[in-house]
Chains A and B, each alone.
Chain A
Amino acid sequence: MKDNKYYRDEVPENNPTFEVDRRDFVKLLGGGLFIYFQLGSFLTGVAAEAAQQRSLPKDYNAFIHISEDGTVTCLVGKIEMGQGIITSFPQMVADELDAPLESIKMIMGDTELCPYDAGTWGSLSTRQLGPSLLAAVAEARGVLLSLGAENLGATPEECSIENGVIFIKNNKNKKVSFGQLTKGKKIEKYLDVKPKIKDFSEFKIRGKSFRHADGVIKVKGEAMYSGDFKMPGMLYAKILRPPSHGATLVKADTSEAEKMEGISIARDKELVAVLHRDIEKAEAALAKVKAEYKFDEMKVDDQTVFKHMLEFPSDAKVVKSSGDIATGKSASDQIFESEFHNSYVAHAAMETHTALGFMEGDKVVVRASTQTPFGTQDGIARELGLGLDKVRVIPPFLGGGFGGKTMFRQAIEAARLTKITGKPIMVLWTRKEAFFYDNFRPAAVIKITSGTDKSGKISLWDYHEYFAGARGSDTIYDVPNAKTTSYSAKDVHPFLTGAWRAPGNNTNTFARESQIEMMAAKIGTDPLDFRLKNLKDERMIGVLKAVAELFGWSPAKSPSGRGYGIACGFDAGSYVAHIAEVKVDQTTGKIQVVRVACAQDMGYCINPEGSIIQMEGCITMGMGYALTEEVKFTGGDIHTANFGTYQLPQFSWVPKIQTKILEKNEAPQGGGEPAIICMGGVLANAVFDACGARLYQLPMTPERVLGAIAKVK
Chain B
Amino acid sequence: MAEIIQFELNGKKVEIPLEKGQTLLWVLRDNFNLTGTKYGCGEGYCGACTVIINGEAVRSCGIAMEDVAGKKITTIEGMSVNGKLHPVQQAFVDHDALQCGFCTPGMIMNAYGLLLKTPHPSREQIIEGMEDNLCRCGAHVRIIEAIESASKVLKV
- A residues adjacent to B (C-beta < 8 A): 81-84, 211-212, 214-216, 218-225, 227-228, 230, 278-281, 284, 348-352, 397-402, 428, 430-431, 609, 613-614, 616-621, 642-644, 648-654, 657
Contact = CB atoms under 8 A, between A and B. Distances in A.
Contacts of B99: 82-84, 212, 400, 613-614, 617
Nearest to B43: A642
A439 to B, nearest CB: 16
Contacts of B45: 642-644
A651 B144 contact: yes
Interface stretch (B1-9, B52-60, B132-140): B132-140
Contacts of A653: 140
Contact of A219 (B21, B41, B85, B141): B85
Interface residues of B, number: 60
B144 to A, nearest CB: 7
Nearest to B93: A215
Contacts of A620: 138-141
Given A212-B98, A648-B134, 15 more contacts: A211-B93, A215-B96, A218-B104, A219-B104, A220-B77, A221-B76, A230-B30, A350-B103, A428-B39, A430-B42, A613-B99, A617-B137, A644-B43, A651-B130, A651-B131
Nearest to B79: A220
Q: Give chain B's interface secondary structure class.
A: loop
A400 B39 contact: no
Given A219-B85, A219-B92, A398-B100, A613 B139 contact: yes
Interface string B115-147: 000000000001110111111111111111000
Given A650-B132, A650-B134, A223 B140 contact: no
Nearest to B86: A219
16 contacts: A83-B99, A219-B98, A219-B101, A219-B108, A224-B35, A227-B29, A227-B39, A350-B40, A350-B46, A351-B40, A352-B40, A400-B100, A400-B136, A614-B99, A616-B141, A650-B140
B90 to A, nearest CB: 8
A434 to B, nearest CB: 9
B26 A218 contact: no
A644 B43 CA distance: 9
A648 B41 CA distance: 13
A429 to B, nearest CB: 10
B151 interface: no
A617 B139 contact: yes
Given A278-B26, A644-B45, A650-B132, A218 B98 contact: yes
Contact of A652 (B21, B77, B127, B135): B127
A280 B98 contact: no
Contact of A350 (B38, B94, B132, B143): B38
B41 A643 contact: yes
A280 B26 contact: yes
Q: Would you list the 5 A-B pairs with minimal beta carbon distance, nearest first?
A: A221-B36, A399-B102, A620-B138, A82-B100, A82-B99
B138 A617 contact: yes
A406 B46 CA distance: 23
Contacts of B48: 350
B96 A212 contact: yes
B26 A402 contact: no
B22 A214 contact: no
A227 B35 contact: yes
A194 to B, nearest CB: 36
B122 to A, nearest CB: 13
A82 B96 contact: no
Interface in B55-103: 75-77, 79-80, 85, 89-90, 92-94, 96, 98-103
Given A82-B101, A219-B104, A350 B135 contact: yes
B105 interface: yes
A609 B96 contact: yes
Contacts of B128: 652
B96 A211 contact: yes
B144 A219 contact: no
A219 B103 CA distance: 10
B128 to A, nearest CB: 8
A648 B136 contact: yes
B100 A349 contact: yes
Given A83-B99, A219-B92, A280-B22, A618 B75 contact: no
B136 A350 contact: yes
A278 B40 contact: no
Contacts of A220: 36, 76-77, 79-80, 85, 89
A351 B102 contact: yes
Nearest to A676: B138
A402 B136 contact: yes
Given A211-B96, A428-B39, A621-B137, A221 B105 contact: yes
A222 B75 CA distance: 12
Contacts of B93: 211, 215-216, 219
Contacts of A652: 127-128, 131
Nearest to B106: A350
Contacts of A230: 30, 33
A348 B46 CA distance: 11
Nearest to B76: A221
Contacts of A228: 29, 35
B101 A397 contact: yes
A398 B98 CA distance: 13
A225 B37 CA distance: 11
B23 interface: yes
Contact of B138 (A212, A223, A227, A618): A618
A133 B8 CA distance: 50
B130 A431 contact: no
